[in-house]
Amino acid sequence: IRAGADVNTILDDCSVLEAAAGGGHLKIVERLLSEKADFARPISSRGKTCLHLAAAGGHLKIVERLLMAAEEINSFGTHDKGGIALLAAAKRGHLKILERLLAAQAVHHIPAHRMIGETALQGAAAHGHLETVKKPLAAGADFGYQETISSALEVAVEGGHLEIVER
């Protein structure tokens, strides 16, 4: 950075900030943000944001730091409203990240991305994460909702997750 590197460099459709966030490198994320790296750049062609990559990797401190930088979750893309990050956390059973994103007003009831067509509740149910299923339900998610894929109930049945089906 001192030598003049561009902190918003994109390599292989991934910014250096996205690489640091996804890799769990908190100090690098903080340094890039201090240099005004663009945390809210449009979603890459792969459908990923810095917040999504940090959530998918289970990097709670980075998720919190990105949320602090953004001040509001809608800064991560007006069409997404945190849904992609929420889905990533739910699918992987990252309960604390899911709770933090819900506290930041991540939208749980719409599909994370129209191409994915899957909500956080559906992702958690499909992967058998009971505790992660409970959070979107408590926030008002509909267990029977479906838009383009099966409902959370259907994917829980298909995955053989009895404890979620009984929920």
**pLDDT tens, residue by residue, 2-33:** 777 888 787 777 788 888 999 999 999 999 98
- The arithmetic mean of pLDDT across residues 109-125, rounded, is 61
pLDDT at 67: 87
Residue 62: pLDDT above 80?
yes
Q: Which residues pair with 14 in a beta bridge?
A: 11
109, pLDDT greater than 50: no
Strand-pairing partners, residue 53, are none
Instruction: Tell me the average pLDDT of the chain.
Output: 76
The helix/strand/coil state of 36 is coil
* 110 phi, psi to nearest 5 deg: -115, 155
Question: For position 42, what pLDDT does the model report?
Answer: 56
Structure tokens, 20: 């640091």
